[in-house]
């Protein structure tokens, strides 16, 4: 079994082992005891890592709520006029790290998905390098606090710069369907279904 060549503390190899076990449910029973022990430990470590990641997001959600943001899964949004300010966190599979996306969703956007294009990722790189947590409360708290710093110091100023007037321009940072939907809304031609869909996807419904 070539996957055993990987060292047990290698995150990429550990992920590969876990995936292989999932694809072959009988493989675990066929493993020697030492290999089975490695797998079971990695599985438990992964569960704990995911659980701690949720603790980070819950703590961030509590602090971001004071700024008007509501949580739905890994999405944090607040409604402002005709748009929603959106923060999304991607949890990497290979370790206890997050990536932050900052974007604006036009409520009247006809596109069914929430586009993640928005603020350039380079603007967040200094913060994202610290979006890491460990297996202790101190690291979980620190990660959530740095996320909040990024929200306050980078994301919110970017949201404030991108007014409705700016978003309607051809060089707007939002996708074309969003820009068209915004122009229609400004001109008094909103589509109630589009708006309802946007609110539901972001958890902005009452």
pLDDT digits (tens, 9 = 90+) for 7-21: 445 555 555 555 555
Mean pLDDT in residue range 114-132: 93
Quick one: tokens of 16?
Answer: 């590969």
CA dihedral 106, 108, 113, 114 (to 10 degrees): 20
pTM of the model: 0.82
16-30, 47-61, 74-88: least confident range: 16-30
pLDDT number for residue 121: 87
Q: Which residues pair with 76 in a beta bridge?
A: 71, 87
In this prediction, residue 94 has a pLDDT band, given cuts at 50, 70 and 90, of: confident
Question: What's the pLDDT tens digit per position in 132-148?
Answer: 999 999 999 999 999 99
The CA distance from 117 to 174, in Å, is 7
Q: Which secondary structure element, helix H or strand E, spans residue 22, and what is its range?
A: helix 11-23
pLDDT number for residue 156: 98
Quick one: tokens of 133?
Answer: 């947590």
Domain ranges across the chain: 9-48, 55-202
In this prediction, residue 178 has a pLDDT band, given cuts at 50, 70 and 90, of: very high
């Amino acid at each position: 079994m070539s996957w055993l060549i990987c060292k047990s503390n290698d995150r990429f190899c550990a992920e590969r082992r876990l995936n292989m076990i999932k694809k072959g449910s009988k493989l675990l029973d066929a493993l020697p005891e030492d290999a089975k022990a490695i797998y079971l430990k990695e599985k438990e470590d992964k569960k704990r890592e995911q659980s701690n990641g949720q603790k980070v997001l819950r703590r961030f959600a509590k602090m971001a709520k004071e700024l008007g943001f509501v949580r739905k899964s890994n999405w944090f949004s607040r409604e402002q006029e005709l748009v929603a300010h959106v923060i999304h966190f991607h949890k990497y599979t290979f370790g206890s790290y997050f990536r932050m996306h900052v974007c604006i969703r036009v409520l009247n956007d006809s596109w069914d998905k929430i586009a993640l294009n928005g603020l350039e990722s380079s603007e967040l790189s200094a913060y994202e390098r610290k979006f890491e947590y460990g297996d202790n409360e101190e690291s979980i708290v620190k990660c959530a606090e740095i996320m909040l710093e990024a929200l306050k110091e980078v994301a919110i100023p970017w949201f404030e710069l991108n007014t409705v007037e700016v978003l309607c321009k051809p060089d707007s940072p939002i996708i074309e369907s969003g820009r068209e939907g915004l122009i229609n809304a400004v001109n008094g031609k909103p589509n109630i279904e589009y708006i309802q869909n946007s609110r539901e996807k972001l958890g902005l419904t009452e």
